[in-house]
Structure 1
Amino acid sequence: MAVQLKLNPPFPCSYKPSPTKLSFLYPSLIRLGFSHRTRTRSSDSHPFNLSSKRFSGIVSAVVSEENVVESSSTSTGTDVFKLTYLEGNSWLWDVCGVKILVDPILVGNLDFGIPWLYDAAKKFLKNFQLSDLPETDCLLITQSLDDHCHLKTLEPLSEMYPNLKVIATPNAKDKLNSLFSNVTYLEPGESSEIEAKNGSRVGIRATAGPVLGPPWQRPENGYLVLAQQGQLTLYYEPHCVYDKNFLEKEKADIIITPVIKQLLPSFTLVSGQEDAVQLAKLLDAKFIVPMKNGDLDSRGFLASIIQAEGTVESFKDLLSKELPGSRVLEPTPGVPLEILAP
């Protein structure tokens, strides 16, 4: 498969970026294409009122500067996912103009309130602040623990955006109810919709994630994200833990998942490798975006006994044998990764 690389000028001449802005790294344009069969999903599968028609043809993946992204998405009416990795479990997604902040850790370190046990800081976006975020349409929370529902970040975020729409797991009610007034809690299988000021809409459907506690406890959430035209669907779950029976009737063009396992003695904190391959096969994914949520500057007793298993390269080898038509797109922290339908 041919890959074309085009380097653009770093920034428009009239624009002098702050080193902490999301577009602070030199942009590049990478296009990848392959045949994609048409898939159609019935409206019953997605209760939100969006078209679920899939497409056939060529899918492109683009890493680009923001002004290039905007021109490609707004002028054609094509569904576009622009995914910016903020390290750890944190993301900023721009889905056809709808900006979604996911599991943000943007204020202070991640320490679960017990820094002697675990204390982690980001490696690359050390100076990124809440004020560097664009205006956000929705906060999306997958899990209730501090590495996803980070109170040091959410408290000042709620002061900045008191009416911000929030979609979250019901397990996070105790933390979120006191901070935000516009919260929708989704059980696995339930759906909601986000609408931006420009009229763009995105559908969100919760899926079953890991159980963090006794077996009878409610699972945390993963999410299926359906773009406005129904041309692209994304699946996200930050531990690579999923209910196979729940997902077997679903399809997703894009998967964001960890691929490197994080292991404690006799316990898997974060899965990956062959489990991520099976997830990609299950959802018939065309693009896999690996997240390195264990790649932090960490210290403390817990950090000293966590072991990583596998690499992105070993995952690629496994994937090529099981799903040779898919592509792995590695995100660079702070750089938008754009995936679009033709």
Structure 2
Amino acid sequence: MQMSKVVSHSTEGNLLAEFAGRSSRAEKKKSTNLNNSLYSVLIFYHLMAVLVQYSHYYSLPYNSCRRTTRPFSPFKLSSPTRLDLSSSYNTPISHSSRSFELPRNRCHKVVFSEEESTVGSTSAATDTDVFRLTYLEGNSWLWEVGGATILVDPILVGNLDFGIPWLYDAAKKFLKNFQLSDLPQVDCLLITQSLDDHCHLKTLKPLSDSSPNLRVIATPNAKPLLDPLFSNVTYLEPGESSEFDARNGSKVGVKATAGPVLGPPWQRPENGYLINSPQGQLTLYYEPHCVYNKDFLEKERADIVITPVIKQLLPKFTLVSGQEDAIKLAKLLHAKYIVPMKNGDLDGKGFLASIIQSEGTVESFKELLAKELPDTQTLEPTPGVPLEISAP
């Protein structure tokens, strides 16, 4: 009788264990299926973004844009691919009487020297070695250096939706009414990547209508999109350099660096850039995903690093890096100033916007930076307000 009771308890225990095991396996399967579904959505999103953008390319006449690009040669230090760079193509973008005039008394100033750095100083600086950085939200910037104005990855017409607004649609939070007509004269358009959040056709088409000969420096991945729009484009692969003339006669140097690979592993990487002031006293580095090639950058130096510091994550996929990766980047380039960009801080709608998660904050980045690089300063930009960094 006692043995029968023991067997009964044992059988009951086995049944409970079996039930628990099945429940655990069911939960794991459910979680795996959810992750696989989200990953499939990510792949679908990426393919849709590429197809939408390249559908524009293939819908154009054959001779106008179907040109064969060079095969990718990593970090090739040869001369860049150039179209016509004659002086007749230096016409700046036209602007209206409502041109973008930001009040000087709101401009945050920083004076930099090799010995010490002070924030808020108003010491005089040479005109050619001052970076004046205006954040236009998202990945968009307006930079002024050496008498030249550089427009970076502009999104100034409509929202950012990759052509699939039902899946993702994002608007700016602060500069909602800022338009192309509000820009000052632009001397150079700088494009880092070929997808819509950097190479925004809704903005670039009207920009090219008003200034088709505007000087453009871009990743070769954007060639099918830019060739039909602009006639004065220089495509830089990582390691290649170019320069352009400012209105005061000085020259601004641009060198491409390797950014993220947005596609299969064999695809050419997108670009980051090193910008040198005319007198060479200041160098700025910019890459909007905080993705970089360590071996390539270890030979470079940058006083100013513009980078995201807040990570943007999808399940099993990092859209934008930051935090400790931004610290490593600052160490690599021996940066003296970090200018954090919040390119995920948009009013987003749609399924993809709902599943994108942020990791870290600007404050948590500052804490990491204070521990790892106590002499490096974080300079937070305010959208629409210029931030000046000068070399005495």
The one-letter code matched in structure 1 to 2:323 is Q
**2:310 equivalent to 1:293:** no
**2:244 equivalent to 1:186:** no
Cα contact 2:110–2:390 (8 A) shared by 1: no
Instruction: Find the residue that maps to 2:264 and give its secondary structure.
Output: coil
How many pairs does the alignment contain? 296
**2:299 equivalent to 1:249:** yes
Instruction: Find the residue that maps to 1:303 and give its secondary structure.
Output: helix
Structure 2 residue corresponding to 1:23, chosen from 94, 102, 126 = 102
Residues 296-307 of structure 1 correspond to what in structure 2 (within 5 A)?
296-307=346-357
TM-score (norm 2): 0.72
The one-letter code matched in structure 1 to 2:174 is F
The one-letter code matched in structure 2 to 1:206 is A
Instruction: Find the residue that maps to 2:137 and give its secondary structure.
Output: coil
Aligned to 1:88: 138
Cα contact 1:192–1:203 (8 A) shared by 2: yes
Aligned to 2:376: 326
Q: Return the offset for 1:196.
A: 1.6
Would the alpha carbon gap of residues 181 and 281 (structure 1) be closer, same or farther in structure 2, given more than 3 Å must change?
Answer: same
Aligned to 1:57: 115
**2:281 equivalent to 1:231:** yes
Residues 39-188 of structure 1 correspond to what in structure 2 (within 5 A)?
56-59=114-117, 72=124, 76-77=126-127, 79-188=129-238
The alignment's C-alpha RMSD in Å is 2.0
The one-letter code matched in structure 1 to 2:388 is E
The one-letter code matched in structure 2 to 1:289 is V
Could you tell me how far apart the structure 1 residues matched to 2:281 and 2:200 are?
33
Would the alpha carbon gap of residues 139 and 61 (structure 1) be closer, same or farther in structure 2, given more than 3 Å must change?
Answer: farther
Could you tell me how far apart the structure 2 residues matched to 1:80 and 1:304 are?
40
Cα contact 1:62–1:339 (8 A) shared by 2: no
Instruction: Find the residue that maps to 1:338 and give its secondary structure.
Output: strand
Would the alpha carbon gap of residues 108 and 90 (structure 1) be closer, same or farther in structure 2, given more than 3 Å must change?
Answer: same
Instruction: Find the residue that maps to 1:281 and give its secondary structure.
Output: helix
Q: Return the offset for 1:62.
A: 5.5
Would the alpha carbon gap of residues 302 and 338 (structure 1) be closer, same or farther in structure 2, given more than 3 Å must change?
Answer: same
The one-letter code matched in structure 2 to 1:93 is W
Instruction: Find the residue that maps to 1:57 and give its secondary structure.
Output: coil
Aligned to 1:275: 325
Q: Return the offset for 1:97.
A: 1.2
**2:343 equivalent to 1:264:** no
More strand, by proportion: 1
The one-letter code matched in structure 1 to 2:106 is P
* 1:193-240 deviation line (CA, Å, top 9, x unaligned): 011222121100000000000000000000000000000000000000
Would the alpha carbon gap of residues 26 and 121 (structure 1) be closer, same or farther in structure 2, given more than 3 Å must change?
Answer: farther
Would the alpha carbon gap of residues 131 and 98 (structure 1) be closer, same or farther in structure 2, given more than 3 Å must change?
Answer: same
Aligned to 1:338: 388
Would the alpha carbon gap of residues 247 and 154 (structure 1) be closer, same or farther in structure 2, given more than 3 Å must change?
Answer: same
Could you tell me how far apart the structure 1 residues matched to 2:128 and 2:163 are?
44
Could you tell me how far apart the structure 1 residues matched to 2:198 and 2:362 are?
23
Residues 175-214 of structure 1 correspond to what in structure 2 (within 5 A)?
175-214=225-264
Could you tell me how far apart the structure 2 residues matched to 1:158 and 1:28 are?
30
The one-letter code matched in structure 1 to 2:322 is G
The one-letter code matched in structure 1 to 2:332 is L
Could you tell me how far apart the structure 1 residues matched to 2:216 and 2:163 are?
24
The one-letter code matched in structure 1 to 2:211 is Y
Q: Return the offset for 1:60.
A: 5.1
Instruction: Find the residue that maps to 1:318 and give its secondary structure.
Output: helix
Name which of structure 1's ranges 150-159 and 190-199 shifts more when overlaid on structure 2.
Answer: 190-199
Could you tell me how far apart the structure 2 residues matched to 1:180 and 1:201 are?
21
Could you tell me how far apart the structure 2 residues matched to 1:264 and 1:275 are?
17
Q: Return the offset for 1:96.
A: 1.7
Could you tell me how far apart the structure 2 residues matched to 1:282 and 1:200 are?
29
Q: Return the offset for 1:78.
A: 5.2
More helix, by proportion: 2
* 1:285-304 deviation line (CA, Å, top 9, x unaligned): 00000000000000000000
Cα contact 1:142–1:222 (8 A) shared by 2: yes
Unaligned ranges ≥5, structure 2: 1-96
Unaligned ranges ≥5, structure 1: 1-16, 37-55
Q: Return the offset for 1:125.
A: 0.3
TM-score (norm 1): 0.83
The one-letter code matched in structure 2 to 1:231 is Q
Cα contact 2:128–2:277 (8 A) shared by 1: no
Structure 2 residue corresponding to 1:315, chosen from 358, 365, 378 = 365
Could you tell me how far apart the structure 2 residues matched to 1:134 and 1:200 are?
19
